Amino acid sequence: MKLKIISKSGILPEYETKGAAGFDIRAYLKKDFVLKKGERALIPTGLFFQIPEGYEAQVRARSGLAIKNGIGMVNGIGTVDSDYRGEIKVPLINWSDTDFVIHDGDRIAQIVINKYEQVDIETAAELSETERGQGGFGHTGV
């Protein structure tokens, strides 16, 4: 599977290790951006994807930024659909108690490409029974 990419910076994302599931994407900024404590912002990457039909790009937080600096993604994981052609932007949030400076070229998120299938959605009067039933959060144990 090939992923066509336009990169305004001229730098293509790459997998950092042979076993990496995702490739890092970088901030594309004209000047440093200060993400204030408690603030959220949409950070541009200068990347545009042509994702093959039947695939999605999942934008995920970088664990190093999260644990070292308290920087994460507002929506947890973002999905980029195969028919989207706009710039990839990352909705970051600063959960820490100090401001965080993002520099042009900083690795701010990672992308994992996944295959998916669409389903036929239909209404039903009832659903089949299971052992779990309607047991929700924490129902199966600690």
pLDDT for 131 equals 84
The per-residue pLDDT of the chain, averaged, comes to 94
| Ordered alpha helix ranges (H), the chain | 63-69
Q: Which two tokens stand for residue 65?
A: 């930024």
Q: Do residues 48 and 86 lie in contact, with contact meaning Cβ atoms separated by under 8 Å?
A: yes
What structural domains does the chain harbor?
Answer: 20-115 (2.70.40.10)
Q: Kindly list the strands in the beta sheet with 55-60, ordered across the sheet, starting from the edge strand earlier in the chain.
A: 23-26, 107-115, 55-60, 77-80
pTM: 0.88
* Token reading at 118: 């669409």
Pairing outcome for strands 87-94 and 71-73: antiparallel
For residue 133, the model assigns a pLDDT of: 80
Phi, psi of 91 (to 5 degrees): -85, 95
- pLDDT tens readout for residues 26-77: 999 999 999 999 999 999 999 999 999 999 999 999 999 999 999 999 998 9
By C-alpha distance, which of 110, 107, 35, 104 is closest to 80?
Answer: 110
Phi-psi domain of 22 (left: phi exceeds 0; alpha: psi -120 through 50; beta: other) = beta
Per-residue pLDDT at 139 exceeds 90: no
- Residue 142 clears pLDDT 90, i.e. is over it: no
**What confidence score (pLDDT) does residue 88 get?**
98
What's the number of CA atoms in the CB half-sphere (13 Å) around residue 87?
A: 14
